[in-house]
Amino acid sequence: MMENLVYKSTRGHGDPVSASYAIVHGIAEDGGLFVPDHLPKMDKTLEELLTMDYRALAYEVMKLYLPDFSEDELHYCIDRAYDDKFDTSKIVPLSHPGETHVLELFHGATLAFKDMALSVLPYLMTTAAHKQNLEEEIVILTATSGDTGKAALEGFANVSGVRIIVFYPKEGVSPIQKLQMVTQQGDNTHVVAIKGNFDDAQRSVKEIFTNPEEAVKMKNAGYMFSSANSINIGRLVPQIVYYYWGYLQMVRDQKVELGDSVNFCVPTGNFGNILAAHYAKSMGLPIGKLICASNSNNVLTDFFHTARYNSNRPFHITSSPSMDILVSSNLERLVYELCQGDGAKVQELMDSLRQRGSYILDLDPALLQEEFWADFADEEETAEAIRQMYTAYHYVMDPHTAVAYSVAEKYGKETGDARPMVIVSTASPYKFPASILAAIGVPAPKEEEALMEKMSEISDTTVPQRVRQVLGSQIRHHRVCEKDRVLAEVHDILGL
Ligand SMILES: *Cc1c(COP(=O)(O)O)cnc(C)c1O
């Protein structure tokens, strides 16, 4: 049966739109996020899925959310995304250090899990633009906490009909993350450091998207804005795939029987990754609990305990910078479900978030906890997790993954839940060598290249080719802007 899945705004305004419209536009006109009008069910059995490779599996998942893409179009996008840009033909390997299961999402071009979606998004977007008969040049505006920026630049570099502008917090990313971005090649790429944090960058970018005067100005100049952030549904859908893959890999590795449930622990910032897990569960994948792991910026931990969202708190710069976020955009999609699709209610809550920095869901927190369990790891616990895993199994985790590991341990202790737990690993250790060496207690060389060699030595792995390239590349991007000058910077780049 073909269900006619369409997308609606979480804030209730406007007509339903097709998947390709939602991908091209990124965000709804009323400032809401596009959500599927229903969550589809997987139409293949787990036995059938078990025999598939990553691409075939990606097709089975993505077709359900992108019904206006033809079979050929989807295969075209998927085949070009998940190829030898990844350093393993499995695309996503599952490691088993000791009794732990680690789903390694960092084997793509930029060594972070953002590659899982951003390898395919450019193809989805250009295909969708073609279907929508767009004539404008697409300008991708992206706020990054470190990893999205590079993954999006890499994905969109030299894609014709598209320009990309990335804003990153000047003091909020690791040296290698910064180098990856400022050395980016491609005439259609622009990178700007903003004197503020990720939330400042994300807020400015969202404001530009939903500014009607700006949209007119852009259209007249032959441009339209879109987003490569996880507010774009084209980011979220490809992320559902690896939850299926991780589960099936657990079965193949004989860690569970087909049909038994598995828990996933997800290091969370903008709530995109774990929302994809929630969608996978809704599709019928046997997931038990979803563990939402935060760092010291633990606004989501409090949310799941109290049903109150309160971003009025100190902002901590941590060793897991991609999770240094106080306003988690994608939570709006879960809130929409919790409000039973009442767009007016969601609008009211998001207005409250904008005006007061907080909102209260009229809901018993116990309801949230049926599916989710949340906690956080502070800096000492994160370092301790890295040290422990290294000492016991010689396995090196990056700090984001370590946050998840630490929280997963707490979950096990507090609940006694004996179901297998998969730790979702979101970055390669080579992106955060200084924090890792400090955690393990190995003196860290100052110079980046020596740092990487040290990392290689202690982990018995070779320095990824991509890291070597970045270290030897020329810096091409020098722009810096004040946090309230993001729009002016965009105009300057586009020559308006
Ligand atoms: C983006 C990112 C996260 C957070 O993912 P969300 O989808 O924003 O919750 C965690 N770890 C790393 C390494 C990331 O790049």
Domain annotation covers residue 31: no
Please give the average per-residue pLDDT across 305-315, as a whole number.
Answer: 97
Predicted confidence at residue 482, as pLDDT, reads 96
Structural contact between residues 404 and 266, judged by C-beta atoms closer than 8 angstroms: yes
Between CA 135 and CA 90 the distance in angstroms is 38
Contact 35, 336 (CB under 8 A): yes
Q: Separation of 3 CA from ligand 1 center, angstroms? A: 32
Distances (CA, A) of 140 to 16, 34, 172, 173, 467: 23, 17, 21, 21, 25
- Domain assignment of residue 104, given as a range: 94-111+238-463
Average pLDDT, the chain: 95
Compute the distance between CA of residue 165 and CA of residue 181 in angstroms, rounded to an integer: 11
400 in ligand 1 pocket by Cβ < 6 Å?
A: yes
Half-sphere exposure of 382 (CA within 13 A, CB side): 27
Q: Rounded to 5 degrees, what angle do the CA atoms 57, 63, 66 make? A: 140
Q: What is the CA radius of gyration of the chain?
A: 21
Residue 49 in this model has a pLDDT that exceeds 60: yes
Tokens in use for 71? 């079979």
Residues 101, 422: contact at Cβ < 8 Å? Answer: yes
Residue 304 has pLDDT above 60, yes or no: yes
- Residue 197 belongs to a domain: no
What distance in angstroms lies between residue 199's CA and the mean position of ligand 1's atoms?
14
pLDDT (tens digit per residue) in 267-292: 999 999 999 999 999 999 999 999 99
| Across 111-140, average pLDDT | 94
Residue 104 alpha carbon to ligand 1 centre in Å? 13
Handedness of CA 237, 240, 241, 242 (dihedral sign): positive
Q: Per the structure, how many domains does the chain have?
A: 1
Residues paired with 95 in a beta bridge: 102
Q: 163 in helix, strand or coil?
A: strand
Q: Phi-psi region for residue 158, left (φ > 0), alpha (ψ -120 to 50) or beta?
A: left
Structure-token pair, residue 387: 């040290």
Q: How many CB atoms lie within 10 A of CB 357?
A: 14
With a 6 Å cutoff on the Cβ, whether 112 touches ligand 1 is: yes
In a domain? residue 406:
yes
Give the residue carrying structure tokens 């990754």: 273
Judge whether residue 340 has pLDDT over 90.
yes
Q: Which of 268, 290, 323 to mutate to test the pocket of ligand 1 (most atoms within 8 A of CB)?
A: 323
In sequence order, what are the residues at sequence separation of 6 or more whose Cβ sits closer than 8 angstroms to the Cβ of residue 458?
A: 390, 396, 437, 440, 442
* pLDDT tier at 1, thresholds 50, 70, 90: very low
Q: Is the distance from the beta carbon of residue 122 to the nearest atom of ligand 1 less than 6 Å?
A: no
Ligand 1 proximity of 202 Cβ (cutoff 6 Å): no
Supply the pLDDT for residue 79.
97
Q: Is residue 118 part of a domain?
A: no
The pLDDT assigned to 3 comes to 56
Ligand 1 pocket member 401 (CB < 6 A): no
Ligand 1 atom nearest 325 alpha carbon = 8
Looking at per-residue pLDDT, the higher value among 1 and 199 belongs to: 199
Distant-in-sequence, close-in-space partners of 355: CB < 8 Å, separation ≥ 6: none
Better-predicted residue by pLDDT, 488 or 2: 488
| CATH number of the domain within which 449 lies | 3.40.50.1100
pLDDT single digits (tens) 350-398: 999 999 999 999 999 999 999 999 999 999 999 999 999 999 999 999 9
Strand stretches in 295-331, DSSP E: 308-310
Closest CA to 289 of 300, 279, 273, 278: 278
- Within 13 Å of residue 404, how many CA atoms lie on the same side as its CB? 29
268 lines ligand 1 (CB under 6 A): yes
Q: CA–CA separation, 260 vs 251, rounded Å? A: 9
Task: Say whether pLDDT at 339 is over 50.
Answer: yes
For residue 230 and ligand 1, the question of a CB distance below 6 A is answered with yes
Q: Which helix (H) or strand (E) holds 277?
A: helix 272-282
Q: Tell how many helices (H) and how many strands (E) occur in the chain.
A: 22, 15
Residue ranges of E strands in 28-100: 34-36, 94-95
106 is a domain residue: yes
- 318 CB within 6 A, ligand 1: no
CB-CB contact of 223 with 215 (8 Å): no
Q: Are 173 and 140 within 8 A, CB to CB? A: no
pLDDT cut 90: percent of the chain above it: 92
Domain membership flag for residue 495: no
Q: Which of 135, 121, 216, 130 is nearest to 164 (CA)?
A: 121
Distance of CA 202 to the CA centre of its chain: 14
Query: Cβ(10) to ligand 1 under 6 A?
Result: no
Answer whether residue 397 is part of any domain: yes
Reported confidence tier of residue 2, pLDDT bands at 50, 70, 90: very low
Residue 316 resides in a domain:
yes
pLDDT in tens, 413-460: 999 999 999 999 999 999 999 999 999 999 999 998 999 999 999 999
How far apart CA 184 and CA 178 sit, in angstroms, is 10
User: Which residues share a beta bridge with 224?
Assistant: 138
